[in-house]
């Protein structure tokens, strides 16, 4: 059975939207721009659902389903096609991207209504959808790389959307350049794959890799490929050490932060690692590095997030931290747990950003939480949806974040690649996550209003969203997507309730075939395989441990809530006193551990100095330019002297000729006499 699913339409429809709006949108009325921008994404969404329905009915051996659209590069034995690859993993990503993407398009209609460059915004957003869907659907690493670069481009364009603001323009550049650093690793990994397998197609590389024995043949190669892919993923998914661009990326419009820098693009690295699970499973060292990087990032970003005062910066660090969780899951070979968290994170973090955007919208552009507070009565819809998102990310049952985070925690402990250290870091991070999210929640919505914006009588100054001048609830175009995402954030976890809690983990089972090859290939030495006879007993015992751990993680979340309540509701004087008590440490955390300054001093400044002093002034100006200029100057000087010979006086020429002839004759005579 070989049905044609017309997968090519899914990415190409948004591209058509981007082309129409981008080329002609300037002359369109606003309403038409809206229709074009949203309609093409809606069509793409519809097809995705249809494809999902088809995939559901397919026999398992028909998956992965590949569709070849056109040949692209054919060079000798190497070839790469415009071809699409659909399996369970791609399906989940497709659904996440198109659904969240669609909701955020709708939200943008309300959020961006007052902004200039409306058509440009939708053109970029559609362009992003095209590249993201290409990335997800690609059947070879090269096409994936095109999508990978394309989303980076769209991200750059949208971060710098308010390009008249200098900080936005430089944030865009920073994001792009930091991503390039990661892409460098990705590219080298691709070169290694081409060199050793002669192909980048998933259906050629993965079977070839699964033939290899991790203990002997190709272990070094696969480890190298894995580490380089990880490096690429670190750039795109904002992991230590390349995370620095994501907090700055908050300069973009908030829906962009939500779609690109929380829900979809930044998860591309996780997707790529999950997609390459065949490679990673045969490179245990690379896997370990993935897990360690995930742990460090999760903890590090959560600590910084605790003391940020910009509402979007808190969410940005939270995103980095949650991406660290996903990396940790991938690093212990629990890919489906990682993808599960990716999905629930897309729901609740997308929602949190949208709600934050709604808050900012309501306050006329105010982003500093110290000047918020008491907003729950003013903007109740935003408050309730944000509450859903906050509870979900904090991991309090029965919200979606609880199930996905719990699975990662459990896998970090129980997986053959897992370790108690991973679990300890992850559980501590869960505590911090709960704390900083509830801190945000308390500071924004509870207590007394601390801002100077106006309850209806004073104009709110010249901020961007100050079109009404008082705190107001957002329009329906913004609230409805938030409400839908809130429902998903609450209920989205039920597709993956683990066995220990009486569920059957449909999500894991659905994704299992995509990771099946890898499960078989787990190295026997590292897995703590149990004999079949004891399996049942082990399982019930494991179930008990899992339950205990679930309890611990819920406890951590509640503890975080308690601290946030204590510090930001009950005893508001405490935070400052604690900060004063911690002396320099608090300042270091608030200033993000001076990582940006460190990079500036260690990498950027030497690069600029090296480029300007050595390469520009030294090599280019003193070397190359000077050679050309000096030789020209010396030629001119010589000519200046010699040109006096050319007097125009015939007899002086004749004199020179005679002199020359005399010199020659004299020379020859002298030589003859010698």
Nearer to another protein, 195 or 649 (CB): 649
Q: How far apart are CA 264 and CA 269, in angstroms?
A: 10
Which residue is it, tokens 């999210």? 437
Supply the minimum distance, in Å, between the C-beta of residue 618 and another protein. 46
Q: How far apart are CA 49 and CA 60, in angstroms?
A: 19
Strand partners, 68: 83
Q: Does position 663 bind another protein by CB under 8 A? A: no
Supply the minimum distance, in Å, between the C-beta of residue 661 and another protein. 9
Supply the minimum distance, in Å, between the C-beta of residue 627 and another protein. 35
Nearer to another protein, 53 or 642 (CB): 642
Structure tokens at 387: 């509450």
Supply the minimum distance, in Å, between the C-beta of residue 650 and another protein. 7
Q: Does position 502 bind another protein by CB under 8 A? A: no
- Please, where are the H alpha helices in 395-505? 400-414, 420-445, 476-491
645, 650, 671, 673: residue in contact with another protein (rule CB under 8 A): 650
> Contacts with another protein in 210-249 (CB under 8 A)?
none
Look at residues 630, 358, 649, 568 and name the one whose alpha carbon lies nearest to residue 475. Answer: 358
Identify the burial level of 641 via C-beta atoms within 10 angstroms of its C-beta, where 0-12 means exposed, 13-18 middle and 19 or more buried.
exposed
Q: How far apart are CA 431 and CA 559, in angstroms?
A: 7
Q: Which residues are CB-contacts of 292 (< 8 A; sequence separation ≥ 6)?
A: 331
- Output phi, psi for 399, to 5 deg: -80, 165
Q: Does position 673 bind another protein by CB under 8 A? A: no
Supply the minimum distance, in Å, between the C-beta of residue 667 and another protein. 16
Contact assessment for residue 427 and residue 553, using Cβ atoms and an 8 Å cutoff = yes
Nearer to another protein, 635 or 662 (CB): 662
String marking each residue 124-153 x if it binds another protein according to CB under 8 A: ------------------------------
Would you give the DSSP letter of residue 81?
E
Supply the minimum distance, in Å, between the C-beta of residue 656 and another protein. 10
Supply the minimum distance, in Å, between the C-beta of residue 647 and another protein. 10
Q: How far apart are CA 490 and CA 511, in angstroms?
A: 21
Q: How far apart are CA 406 and CA 32, in angstroms?
A: 45
Q: Does position 655 bind another protein by CB under 8 A? A: yes
Q: How far apart are CA 429 and CA 303, in angstroms?
A: 8
Supply the minimum distance, in Å, between the C-beta of residue 623 and another protein. 41
Nearer to another protein, 629 or 652 (CB): 652
Strand partners, 70: 82
62, 658, 664, 668: residue in contact with another protein (rule CB under 8 A): 658
User: Which one of 8-16, 30-38, 400-408, 646-654 is the stretch in contact with another protein (CB under 8 A)?
Assistant: 646-654
CA 245 and chain centroid, separation: 10
String marking each residue 298-337 x if it binds another protein according to CB under 8 A: ----------------------------------------
Supply the minimum distance, in Å, between the C-beta of residue 665 and another protein. 9
CA 568 and chain centroid, separation: 31
- Residue environment code for 247-272, b if the CB has 16+ CB neighbours within 10 A, otherwise e: bbbbbbbbbbbbbbbbbbbbbbbbbb
Structure tokens at 419: 């370790």
Identify the burial level of 357 via C-beta atoms within 10 angstroms of its C-beta, where 0-12 means exposed, 13-18 middle and 19 or more buried.
buried
User: Which one of 104-112, 332-340, 500-508, 648-656 is the stretch in contact with another protein (CB under 8 A)?
Assistant: 648-656
Supply the minimum distance, in Å, between the C-beta of residue 658 and another protein. 5
Nearer to another protein, 641 or 649 (CB): 649
Supply the minimum distance, in Å, between the C-beta of residue 644 and another protein. 15
Q: Does position 648 bind another protein by CB under 8 A? A: yes
CA 36 and chain centroid, separation: 27
Would you give the DSSP letter of residue 446?
S
Nearer to another protein, 536 or 654 (CB): 654
Contact assessment for residue 313 and residue 254, using Cβ atoms and an 8 Å cutoff = no
27, 455, 636, 651: residue in contact with another protein (rule CB under 8 A): 651
Nearer to another protein, 541 or 652 (CB): 652
> Contacts with another protein in 551-610 (CB under 8 A)?
none
Q: Which residues are CB-contacts of 591 (< 8 A; sequence separation ≥ 6)?
A: 597
Nearer to another protein, 77 or 649 (CB): 649
537, 545, 632, 654: residue in contact with another protein (rule CB under 8 A): 654
Nearer to another protein, 623 or 655 (CB): 655
> Contacts with another protein in 429-488 (CB under 8 A)?
none
Q: Which residues are CB-contacts of 421 (< 8 A; sequence separation ≥ 6)?
A: 295
Instruction: Compute how many residues bind another protein; rule: CB under 8 A.
Output: 7
Contact assessment for residue 220 and residue 136, using Cβ atoms and an 8 Å cutoff = no
Supply the minimum distance, in Å, between the C-beta of residue 655 and another protein. 5
Supply the minimum distance, in Å, between the C-beta of residue 646 and another protein. 11
User: Which one of 40-48, 192-200, 465-473, 645-653 is the stretch in contact with another protein (CB under 8 A)?
Assistant: 645-653
Q: How far apart are CA 520 and CA 532, in angstroms?
A: 16
Q: How far apart are CA 4 and CA 553, in angstroms?
A: 45
Nearer to another protein, 609 or 647 (CB): 647
Supply the minimum distance, in Å, between the C-beta of residue 640 and another protein. 18
- Residue environment code for 273-294, b if the CB has 16+ CB neighbours within 10 A, otherwise e: bbbbbbbbbbbbebbebbbbbb
Nearer to another protein, 452 or 646 (CB): 646
User: Which one of 83-91, 243-251, 444-452, 654-662 is the stretch in contact with another protein (CB under 8 A)?
Assistant: 654-662
Nearer to another protein, 23 or 662 (CB): 662
Nearer to another protein, 619 or 662 (CB): 662
Nearer to another protein, 622 or 665 (CB): 665
Q: How far apart are CA 537 and CA 395, in angstroms?
A: 29
User: Which one of 260-268, 329-337, 600-608, 642-650 is the stretch in contact with another protein (CB under 8 A)?
Assistant: 642-650
Look at residues 327, 338, 129 and name the one whose alpha carbon lies nearest to residue 234. Answer: 327
Supply the minimum distance, in Å, between the C-beta of residue 616 and another protein. 45
SS3 content of the chain, % helix, strand, coil (to 5): 75, 5, 20
CA 371 and chain centroid, separation: 30
Nearer to another protein, 207 or 655 (CB): 655
Q: How far apart are CA 582 and CA 439, in angstroms?
A: 19
Nearer to another protein, 62 or 658 (CB): 658
Residues that bind another protein (CB under 8 A): 648-651, 654-655, 658
């Amino acid at each position: 059975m070989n049905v044609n699913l017309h997968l090519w339409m899914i990415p190409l429809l948004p591209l058509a939207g981007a082309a129409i709006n981008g080329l002609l949108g300037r002359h369109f009325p606003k309403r038409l721009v809206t229709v074009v921008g949203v309609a093409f994404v809606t069509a793409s969404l519809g097809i995705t659902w249809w494809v999902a329905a088809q995939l559901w009915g397919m026999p398992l051996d028909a998956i992965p389903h590949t569709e070849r659209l056109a040949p692209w590069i054919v060079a000798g034995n190497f070839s790469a096609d415009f071809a699409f690859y659909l399996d369970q993993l791609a399906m989940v990503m497709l659904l996440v991207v198109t659904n969240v993407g669609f909701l955020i398009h709708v939200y943008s209609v309300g959020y961006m209504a007052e902004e200039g460059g409306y058509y440009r915004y939708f053109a970029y957003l559609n362009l992003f959808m095209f590249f993201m869907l290409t990335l997800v659907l690609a059947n070879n690493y090269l096409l994936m790389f095109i999508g990978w670069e394309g989303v980076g481009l769209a991200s750059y364009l949208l971060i710098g959307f308010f390009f008249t603001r200098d900080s936005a323009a430089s944030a865009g550049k920073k994001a792009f350049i930091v991503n390039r650093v990661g892409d460098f690793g990705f590219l080298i990994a691709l070169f290694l794959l081409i060199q050793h397998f002669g192909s980048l197609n998933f259906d050629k590389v993965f079977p070839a890799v699964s033939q290899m024995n991790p203990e002997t043949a190709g272990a070094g190669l696969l480890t190298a490929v894995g580490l380089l892919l990880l490096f690429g993923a670190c750039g795109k998914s904002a992991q230590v050490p390349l995370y620095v661009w994501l907090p700055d990326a908050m300069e973009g419009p908030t829906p962009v932060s939500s779609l690109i820098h929380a829900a979809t693009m930044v998860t591309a690295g996780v997707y790529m690692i999950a997609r390459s699970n065949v490679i990673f499973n045969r490179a245990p060292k690379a896997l370990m590095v993935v897990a360690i990087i995930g742990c460090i990032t999760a903890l590090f970003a959560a600590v910084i997030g605790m003391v940020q005062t910009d509402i979007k910066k808190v969410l940005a660090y939270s995103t980095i931290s949650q991406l660290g969780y996903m990396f940790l899951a991938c690093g212990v070979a629990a890919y489906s747990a990682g993808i599960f968290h990716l999905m629930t994170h897309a729901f609740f973090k997308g929602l949190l950003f949208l709600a934050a955007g709604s808050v900012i919208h309501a306050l006329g552009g105010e982003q500093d939480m110290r000047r918020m507070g008491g907003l729950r009565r003013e903007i109740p819809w935003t408050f309730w949806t944000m509450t859903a998102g906050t509870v979900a990310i904090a991991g309090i049952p029965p919200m979606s974040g609880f199930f996905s985070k719990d699975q990662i925690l459990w896998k970090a402990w129980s997986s053959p690649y897992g370790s108690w250290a991973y679990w300890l870091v992850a559980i501590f991070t869960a505590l911090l996550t709960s704390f900083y999210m509830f801190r945000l929640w308390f500071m924004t919505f509870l207590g007394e209003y601390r801002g100077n914006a106006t309850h209806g009588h004073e104009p709110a100054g010249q901020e961007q969203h100050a079109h009404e001048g008082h705190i107001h609830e957002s329009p329906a175009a913004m609230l409805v997507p938030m409400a839908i995402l809130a429902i998903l954030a609450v209920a989205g976890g039920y597709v993956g309730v683990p066995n220990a809690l009486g569920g059957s983990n449909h999500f894991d089972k659905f994704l299992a075939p995509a990771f099946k090859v890898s499960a078989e290939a787990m190295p026997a030495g590292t897995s703590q395989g149990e004999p079949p006879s004891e399996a049942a007993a082990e399982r019930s015992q494991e179930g008990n441990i899992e339950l205990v751990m679930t309890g611990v993680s819920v406890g951590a979340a509640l503890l975080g809530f308690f601290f946030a309540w204590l510090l930001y509701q009950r005893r508001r004087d405490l935070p400052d006193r604690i900060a004063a008590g911690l002396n320099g440490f608090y300042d270091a955390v608030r200033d993000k551990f001076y990582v940006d300054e460190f990079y500036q001093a260690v990498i950027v400044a030497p690069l600029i100095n090296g480029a300007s002093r050595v390469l520009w002034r030294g090599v280019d100006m003193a070397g190359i330019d000077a050679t050309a200029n000096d030789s020209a100057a010396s030629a001119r000087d010589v000519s200046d002297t010699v040109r006096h010979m050319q007097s125009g006086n015939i007899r002086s020429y004749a004199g020179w000729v005679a002199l020359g002839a005399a010199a020659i004759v004299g020379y020859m005579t002298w030589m003859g006499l010698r």
